[in-house]
Amino acid sequence: MIKLSIGMPTHNGEHRIAESLGSILPQLSDSVELVISDNCSTDKTPLIIREVVGENPRVHYFRTDTNLGMDRNFDQVVRRARGEFVWIISDDDHLTDPGAVRKVLEAIAAAPDVAAIFANYEDAAQPIDKNYLNVDGNTFFRVTRFKSTLASSCVINKKLWESYDLSGYYGTYWTHIGYLVRALSERNGSVLRDVLVEQIHYGQKEPRWGKRGTFFNVGIDLAKIYLHLERLGYSREIADQARRYVKAKNKWNIPYAKSCGLRVDKKLWNECVHVFGAYPSFWFWDAGLLFLPAGLYRFIFAAWRGVKGMIKKLIRLFPDDSQIKIYAMLGKVKR
């Protein structure tokens, strides 16, 4: 019996998918399968998958004839899986813990009826103090601090996922969050403290989506989902924290999105007011950022890139050991 399916939705993932697959394949077993749903890739993704996977009977590869969009592909990979739970792993993320699958299986055995399990990842802002098994939705989101936005942190209950009509989330990039907020209002979830996943690209740094600053619109769609939390039975405190989690990114996302070509029109403005207008800081800060000219942001970012380039050149003048210490002081890791 398949207890856990690792579901990998992919589209033009040639640059990272081999690394991701390499971290997963050694952890497959008779009770753990890998399901790959290739969303009509036009690059070398299918070739790389065949080369890396070979004839592994625990891997099931599907390829669509047309691009279904990210959310439909997420939905499809879950529905094609045979496991009782499905761990969604993006094609540019990988498992950092050689015991990651075992730890997820142990969490399933300890609480087999939960709606979802959170698999911690290295970008989580603060360490989680312990495992939280079979806790309510308010506790789930409070402990994870809404970091379940990373799809690869989500291990979901397949039957419960299939019981919902999630088509209303297609096109938002947040089908997994739409599932979580609904499912965790009805059933408990579990949270794993150990770091199991590493994300390679995230947010606006992902080159395959969010072009021309549209990643800011994606953030608004996330905030829209969180607007329904109280109606679903979550506490007012959790609902407020969720919206603040999205809004906190505006001070960076707005300038960067505008420098990339984001167009602030009436529709975008009205959506911003709808999801953020209750916060005074939106009117005192975010609104001004939205209407400053894009050229100013492009100039600032270009100047900053120049400064960073000069700093890197100066650091290279130091011995290697000193360079590592300098990068550590700056909060960066020399690779």
| pTM tops 0.85 | yes
- pLDDT above 60 for 207: no
Q: What is the pLDDT of residue 333?
A: 47
Q: Is the pLDDT of residue 241 over 50?
A: yes
Rounded Cα distance between 82 and 30, Å, is 12
Closest CA to 32 of 93, 120, 122, 95: 95
Q: Give the percent of the chain with pLDDT over 90.
A: 81
pLDDT for 199 equals 77
Confidence at residue 203, expressed as pLDDT on a 0 to 100 scale: 44
Q: What is the mean pLDDT of residues 77-92?
A: 96
Assigned architecture for domain 4-205: Alpha-Beta Complex (3.90)
Mean pLDDT for the stretch of residues 68-88: 95
